[in-house]
Amino acid sequence: MERSTHEWQAADAAHFLHPFTDFKGLARKGSRIIERADNIYLWDSDGHKILDAMSGLWCVNVGYGQQALVDAATAQLKQLPFYNAFFQTATPPAIRLAEVLAEVAPGFQHVFFSGSGSEGNDTVVRMVRRYWDVMGQPGRSVIISRHNAYHGSTMAGASLGGMAGMHAQGGLPIPGIEHIEQPYWWAHGRPQGLSRDEFGLQAARWLEERIEAIGADKVAAFIGEPVQGAGGVIIPPATYWPEIERICRKHGILLVSDEVICGFGRTGRWFGSETLGFQPDLMTFAKGVTSGYIPLGGVLVGSRVAEALIERGGEFNHGYTYSGHPVACAVALANIALIREQRLVEHVHDDVGPYLAARYRELAEHPLVGDAETCGLMGALLLVKDKATGEAFPDEVEIGMVCRAHCFRQGLIMRAVGDRMIIAPPLVITRAQIDEMLGLIRSCLDLTLADARAAGWAR
């Protein structure tokens, strides 16, 4: 052991400002130091083994310890660690990856690379506005997104996102971004007299109402995550996305799918838009493209936009030093090859996805669980105070945080988003490991319920 946990924590608190963190609060408490990983498990600096039901940060799709990715990075680092794609040059890994992405992404022939999902969404903003300039309709500049969306943390990414806490810091959103309500049944009080499918249609029509209020001739694009991830694994009714697509087509508006979480097998198809039933014009990706082994992101560009930019656009004044980074692209190629060889998309679609769904239905019986839903290998549990009425816990109880603390102590990483406990385990997970994960989740729910009863929050 290089240093003790305490020594790591002291150095961390002295120098490292963590993302989305109350710096002072964390310094007082001390970080958890993660030292190594294999398959779906992590080990911390005290030697505790932890089941990582979040795939790192929704990204380690092929699981930890895949030697093929390590070998690909090593070989490319030796061969050519960096070269850019700016001045009429390209590298073999970037070209090959562009080719392979066109094979796995249905209807897409072109890609623009970035270093992350946030940068990918910055590219989306630049690209859709440029598209409408080229089309002679520069007035079409407004991009519509949704409340409780997450599209990253750069100025454009955080503006597209619908997180109020993020907008409150730094003068966001930037001009020309609007938000409609999310298609979340529980947030709308489980509207009585509407089936979920009817609610899905109603939620999609909020887009049409906004387009009409703004004027379609001012709207460039609509962007959404097929399933909202960071917002709490909000799975829209099956009617939602086809209706969104119909509305976008009717008004000539570009449709952008943010596939940063849903891409690369997470929902049981290569891309979430395939599972949710729509054909986007652009798709943002990151995370799963390299399984998080190295940073890479980008935007897949469909023919409508690509043809306009290629044939009529002239120079597109946008790009990043690491657009098409050869080492990142080499790792992505190895990652995609592994997903194909191990048939991981089919594994999620035909085997572990349906198995997780069935096991989640059993969890719905638990007294704390008001709703349990999954899509592929994304899952959410809504914790409620009263199962019969669906009454929520008061905000100040922070029931999700209570449950998450139990998960940490039991050796399970699960995220809490408000009262929703969410998972997105690596795609390589087996049925036996799902049973292990579900056993841990169940005991954490029991411990949370015991706390809630002891404190008088629940019966």
Q: Which stretches of the chain bind ligand PXG, using CB under 6 A?
A: 57, 116-118, 121, 150-152, 157, 225, 229-230, 258, 260-261, 286, 297
Q: Please say which residue, 244 or 452, places its beta carbon nearer to ligand PXG.
A: 244
Q: Please say which residue, 157 or 268, places its beta carbon nearer to ligand PXG.
A: 157
Residue nearest to ligand PXG (CB): 117
Phi-psi region of 310 (alpha: psi -120 to 50; beta: other; left: phi over 0): alpha
424 and 378 Cβ atoms separated by less than 8 Å? yes
Min dist. Cβ of residue 150 to ligand PXG (A):
5
Cα separation, 411 vs 426, in Å, equals: 16
Min dist. Cβ of residue 300 to ligand PXG (A):
14
Residue 146 DSSP one-character state: E
What SS3 string covers 229-258? CCCCCECCCCCHHHHHHHHHHHCCCEEEEE
- Stated length of the chain: 459
Phi, psi of 154 (to 5 degrees): -75, 175
Structure tokens at 221: 């694009």
- Please provide the DSSP assignment of 306-369 as one string: HHHHHHH--------TTTT-HHHHHHHHHHHHHHHHTTHHHIIIIIIHHHHHHHHHHHTTSTTE
Three-state DSSP class for residue 89: coil
Min dist. Cβ of residue 301 to ligand PXG (A):
17
**Residue 310 one-letter amino acid:** I
145 and 151 Cβ atoms separated by less than 8 Å? yes
Min dist. Cβ of residue 210 to ligand PXG (A):
21
Min dist. Cβ of residue 324 to ligand PXG (A):
16
Contacts of 61 (CB under 8 A, 6+ apart): 55, 264, 265, 266, 287, 288, 291, 292, 335, 339, 344, 426, 427
Q: Please say which residue, 285 or 452, places its beta carbon nearer to ligand PXG.
A: 285
Min dist. Cβ of residue 154 to ligand PXG (A):
7
304 and 288 Cβ atoms separated by less than 8 Å? no
Min dist. Cβ of residue 261 to ligand PXG (A):
4
Min dist. Cβ of residue 364 to ligand PXG (A):
23
